[in-house]
Amino acid sequence: MACVSLALIGYSVSMASHWNGQAQDPSPPALLDGAVDVRLPAEPRQLALLRTVTEGVAVRAGFGPDGVADLKMAVDEACALLIAVANPLEALQCRLWTLADEVHVTVTVPTLWTADAGSFGWRLLKALTGSLYANLSPPVARIEFTQYASS
């Protein structure tokens, strides 16, 4: 089984992938090549770790230097939007999974407030991503997007 886990105080990072064509993680889509889950305190200073993980996923998915930078910026903006409205002491969860030359990203955080869909960060996120879905309202705010290696 190809599964890697890393646990640090306050952090949780895990990776799951196929073994004999069977996904070891129930994540969508069904043709999952690999998934990385990151759970960390919803604090801006934690984003550096997530940028590093995102870069590794993008490189593994075949993204060029510009694509890697765009994906890192998109993940950073999505997380920053949700960290701004996160419940104190809650964890931000980010899942990145690859399929061919795509990376799908889901970011969630428990919240009592609605994130600002009119902010510069939101407009930047819309410009950087191939597809974008968001539920920015309580009790759990969620942003999902897909980034393509060719974009």
Contacts of 100 (CB under 8 A, 6+ apart): 33
pLDDT in tens, 87-118: 988 999 999 999 888 999 999 999 999 988 88
The SS3 of residue 79 is helix
Q: What is the pLDDT of residue 14?
A: 53
Q: How far apart are CA 141 and CA 20, in angstroms?
A: 35
Q: Which domains does the chain have, with CATH numbers?
A: 41-148 (3.30.565.10)
pLDDT in tens, 45-101: 999 999 999 999 999 899 999 999 999 999 999 999 999 999 988 999 999 999 888
Determine what percent of the chain is predicted with pLDDT higher than 70. Answer: 77
Specify whether the CB–CB gap between 107 and 75 falls below 8 A.
Answer: yes
Contacts of 13 (CB under 8 A, 6+ apart): 5, 6, 7, 36, 37, 38, 39, 53
User: Would you say residue 7 has pLDDT above 80?
Assistant: no
Of 96, 2, 8, which Cα lies nearest the Cα of 46? Answer: 8
